[in-house]
């Protein structure tokens, strides 16, 4: 027998064992606070999240631009003479807001007419109303009266009386002329 034939009959070598894996690294994380707050302690209130909108420009209320805003794209105030009559718009916006509160209309339909703060407040109140009362049957609200005044050019403040089914509601809103249209910067519905 030759040396080559003896080597060919030998069993194959076992495969090399894999290197042992490094043990996982453990992290120490503090346990969540599970104790209730003391009676009388201040309650933390969180604002509802504002939906991030692509392409929304900053709102300039006092005439000064926020830091880092390019004046070329900043919102421009618009004179009242360049805008349509605000009274029908006031009545229509309040009716639509009442329908949002009743759950008959999505708040997103008013996004174009409301500032981000007013929109977030309306969304939060509508969610709370629907959580407490549920989705209720709604009859169309009817505007009974609109009283509008203009404290300065490009600004209209209005009080609107709306009949909402068996209720009569009062609402106050402030419109400001921005970029060629009216925007609601404040809204209160009773």
Q: What are 101-159's pLDDT values in tens digits? A: 888 888 888 888 898 889 999 999 988 888 887 766 667 888 999 999 999 898 999 99
Is 159 a domain residue?
Answer: yes
Is 58 a domain residue?
Answer: no
Q: Which residues of 136-149 are buried (b: 16+ CB within 10 A; e: fewer)?
A: eeeeebebeebebe
Is 59 a domain residue?
Answer: no
Is 84 a domain residue?
Answer: yes
Distance (Å, whole) CA 116 – CA 114: 6
Is 122 a domain residue?
Answer: yes
Distance (Å, whole) CA 46 – CA 33: 18
Is 94 a domain residue?
Answer: yes
Q: Which phi and psi (to 5°) does residue 109 adopt?
A: -65, -20
Q: What is the pLDDT of residue 145?
A: 93
Is 86 a domain residue?
Answer: yes
Is 73 a domain residue?
Answer: no
Q: CATH number of the domain that 146 lies in?
A: 3.10.450.50
Q: pLDDT band for position 71 (50/70/90)?
A: low
Q: Which residue range(s) make up the domain with 156?
A: 80-189
Average pLDDT, the chain: 79
Number of domains forming the structure of the chain: 1
Q: What is the pLDDT of residue 45?
A: 65
Distance (Å, whole) CA 53 – CA 181: 19
pLDDT tens for 10-42 read 667 666 667 777 777 878 877 777 776 777 767
């Amino acid at each position: 027998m030759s040396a080559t034939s003896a080597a060919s009959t030998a069993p194959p070598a076992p495969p090399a064992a894999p290197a042992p894996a490094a043990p996982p690294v453990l992290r120490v994380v503090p346990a969540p606070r599970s104790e209730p707050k003391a009676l009388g302690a201040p309650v933390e209130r969180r604002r509802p999240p504002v939906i991030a909108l692509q392409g929304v420009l900053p709102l300039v209320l006092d005439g000064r631009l926020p830091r880092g805003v390019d004046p070329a794209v900043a919102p421009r105030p618009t004179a009242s003479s360049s805008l349509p009559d605000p009274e029908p718009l006031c009545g229509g916006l309040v009716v639509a807001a009442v329908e949002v509160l009743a759950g008959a209309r999505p708040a997103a339909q008013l996004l174009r007419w409301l500032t981000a703060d007013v929109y977030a407040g309306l969304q939060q109140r509508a969610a709370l109303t629907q959580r407490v009362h549920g989705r209720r049957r709604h009859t169309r609200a009817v505007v009974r009266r609109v009283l509008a005044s203009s404290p300065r050019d490009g600004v209209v403040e209005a009080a609107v009386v709306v009949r909402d089914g068996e209720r009569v509601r009062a609402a106050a809103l402030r419109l400001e002329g921005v970029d060629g249209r009216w925007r609601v910067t404040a809204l209160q519905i009773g």
